[in-house]
């Protein structure tokens, strides 16, 4: 997924969307854990765990991008 952004504001909007997706994915995982471990097995690990793991990788990547942004453009205000 290659996306070209024309401004940091567009990047910030995309970061907020990804952050919300991560929160939803973690909420679903917590909900399934409350129902019990067998529910995860029944529904399939693919649908329960992999989205959360993907979102954790995305979050880690975004953190690295934010650090790079602060290094390259320290005069800009910090992203939300």
What is the chain's length?
80
User: Which of 55, 48, 53 lies closest to 19 in space, CA to CA?
Assistant: 55
Confidence category of residue 79, pLDDT binned at 50, 70, 90: low
- The residue ranges of every structural domain in the chain are 10-71
User: d(Cα 10, Cα 22) in Å, to the nearest integer?
Assistant: 19
51, burial (CB in 10 Å: exposed 0-12, middle 13-18, buried 19+)? middle
pLDDT tens string 49-78: 777 788 888 889 888 988 888 888 887 777
Q: Which residues contact 10 (CB under 8 A, 6 or more apart)?
A: none
Handedness of CA 26, 28, 31, 32 (dihedral sign): negative
pLDDT tens string 26-40: 888 787 777 776 766
């Amino acid at each position: 997924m290659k996306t070209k952004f024309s401004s940091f504001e567009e990047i910030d909007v995309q970061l907020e969307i990804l952050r919300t997706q991560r929160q939803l994915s973690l909420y679903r995982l917590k909900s399934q854990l409350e129902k019990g471990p067998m529910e995860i097995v029944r529904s399939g690990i693919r649908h329960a765990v992999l989205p959360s793991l993907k979102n954790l990788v995305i979050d880690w990547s975004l953190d690295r991008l934010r650090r790079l942004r602060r290094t390259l453009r320290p005069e800009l205000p910090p992203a939300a």
